[in-house]
Amino acid sequence: MSNPAIVVGSQALHATGYALGVALDGASSATLVYFGDGAISEGDVSEAFGFAASYAVPVVFFCQNNQWAISEPVRVQSHASIAQRGQGYGIPGIQVDGNDVLAVLAATRLALARAYAGQGPTLVEAVTYRMGPHTTSDDPTRYRSRAEEELWRAKDPLVRLRRLLRAEGASDDTFEERVDAAADDAAAALRAGCLGMADPEPETLFDHVYAAPHPLLEAERADYLSYLTELDDGEFNDHDDDDDVDEDGLS
């Protein structure tokens, strides 16, 4: 299941609720949820930890600690390692080198094995680094040094894995070219699929919120549809911007 979330940290609650539902249905499954070091300061994540621990929910909390929450370093948010955050809730934590692909795979498998065995949640902290800016308007040179970036650039996980595969005789130029081509094809197909999707109807916002019809939600849906109708009728566009002049003739 893939569930992207825009609200920082809210996906931890989504994953906890989903995993609990799956467990109550008697299915053998586990949920893996990813979030960044900035999300660890959100109340939603703390609530998810508490609930997951109380009910031994089969969920793995995976924190991608890239050192920077926009311009705030992780040391400002947490004076201890993020992996230790779970201890107060009774959740074991694992700190792993986030730039070591095999180490991350091993830690993830261990945490998922605990969840499948009914031993409850695990918190995994993968220590990595955000190489680029937070957004297109961000300038990371204002709050961190080039030397720090270069230090982490040398730890690039793709370069490290490529070197390992080469050393083990499991990769060569031809293999890497096939991998690059397959990745480019997958990215192109994903972009084409997203761009080709029809825009959803606005009222579908209210679909799949509850398993059964809910009167409050239906009332909100009706109000929203009425609002959209008023927009279509132009009731909120009854004046032209060019006529927006006060009594003194000043715009």
61-82 per-position pLDDT tens digit:
999 999 999 898 998 888 889 9
Q: Coil, strand or helix: which one is 63?
A: strand
Q: Determine which one of 114, 134, 162, 221 is catalytic.
A: 134
**What pLDDT sits at residue 208?**
87
**What pLDDT sits at residue 5?**
62
| Gap between the Cα atoms of 37 and 98, Å rounded | 13
| Gap between the Cα atoms of 182 and 239, Å rounded | 54
Among 190, 191, 159, 198, residue whose Cα is nearest residue 176: 159
Active site residue 227: no
Query: pTM for this structure?
Result: 0.80
Mean pLDDT of 198-205: 91
pLDDT over 90 percentage in the chain? 78
End-to-end CA distance of the chain: 53
| Gap between the Cα atoms of 31 and 52, Å rounded | 11
| Gap between the Cα atoms of 54 and 38, Å rounded | 24
Active site residue 130: yes
Q: Determine which one of 116, 143, 210, 227 is catalytic.
A: 143
Looking at the predicted structure, is the pLDDT value of residue 236 above 50? Answer: yes
* pLDDT tens, residue by residue, 12-54: 999 999 999 999 999 889 999 999 999 999 999 999 999 999 9
Among 60, 63, 62, 2, residue whose Cα is nearest residue 30: 60
**What pLDDT sits at residue 251?**
45
Banded model confidence at residue 213, pLDDT cuts 50, 70, 90: confident
Active site residue 134: yes
Mean pLDDT of 214-232: 93
Length of the chain equals: 251
Q: Determine which one of 18, 85, 129, 130 is catalytic.
A: 130
Banded model confidence at residue 241, pLDDT cuts 50, 70, 90: low
Looking at the predicted structure, is the pLDDT value of residue 149 above 70? Answer: yes
